Amino acid sequence: MLNRLIFSVAFFTILIGVIYLWLGVAPLVVFLTVVVSLSGFLTAVLLLMRRLDVSTEKALETAAPGYFTNLATQKLFVEALLTGDFWAVASAVAGILLLAFFMPYSLAKLIIQHQTKTQQRDET
């Protein structure tokens, strides 16, 4: 299962990178997009393992949907950072904090909490 997840993460990272390059996006932007998204993903995995005490597999599994979404959206924020315009940089920083770093952890936490509670089936 862990191998399947790692393959899935690597596969989508390479695929999206290639799509960006094929669409004519600058290699620096593609590289930074992957770096920002991957940083948020790894932060989420570490936070999930430390704060919710879940296994590496579970943390990777639940943080991955947020990571993939970020691979597709963070390019915009990286481009905004590179413009140097104050408001563009300000909105990009807000977007990176919200979507790249907070979103994968928050989404994964929600999934894990509901998985736990669903098992309890305490109210329906």
Partner 1 sequence: MLEYLALVYVRHINKSHKLYVFTLAQVDGGRYSLSFTWANYWFKNKTVYFGDWVVVANTTLSGYYAAMSRAVDALAKKWQASDKQYKPQAYPQMSQALREISRAVAGTDIDKPLGRGYALVTDFVWKVLAGALAWGVASGITTGITAYYVHRDPWRATRCGFLVGGITTISAFVSPFVAGMRAVHVTDATGMIVVPLSIYAC
3-state secondary structure 37-48: HHHHHHHHHHHH
Spatial separation of the C-alpha atoms in residues 69 and 66, rounded to whole Å: 5
Spatial separation of the C-alpha atoms in residues 65 and 43, rounded to whole Å: 14
Judged by beta carbon, residue 53 or residue 124, the one nearer partner 1 is 124
Spatial separation of the C-alpha atoms in residues 62 and 109, rounded to whole Å: 8
CB 57 → partner 1: shortest distance, Å?
Answer: 10
Choose, by CB under 8 A, the member of 3, 24, 53, 123 that binds partner 1.
123
4 binding partner 1? (CB under 8 A)? yes
Residues between 66 and 105 that touch partner 1 (CB under 8 A): 68-69, 71-73, 75-77, 79-80, 83, 85, 87-88, 91-92, 94-95, 98-99, 103
Q: Which amino acid is at 71?
A: L
Residue 84 neighbours by CB under 8 Å, 6+ apart: none
Taking alpha carbons only, the member of 78, 48, 56, 75 closest to residue 9 is: 56
Residues between 52 and 71 that touch partner 1 (CB under 8 A): 61-62, 64-65, 68-69, 71
Summarize as ranges the residues that interact with partner 1 (CB under 8 A). 1, 4-5, 8, 12, 16, 19-20, 23, 61-62, 64-65, 68-69, 71-73, 75-77, 79-80, 83, 85, 87-88, 91-92, 94-95, 98-99, 103, 106-107, 110-111, 114-115, 117-118, 120-124
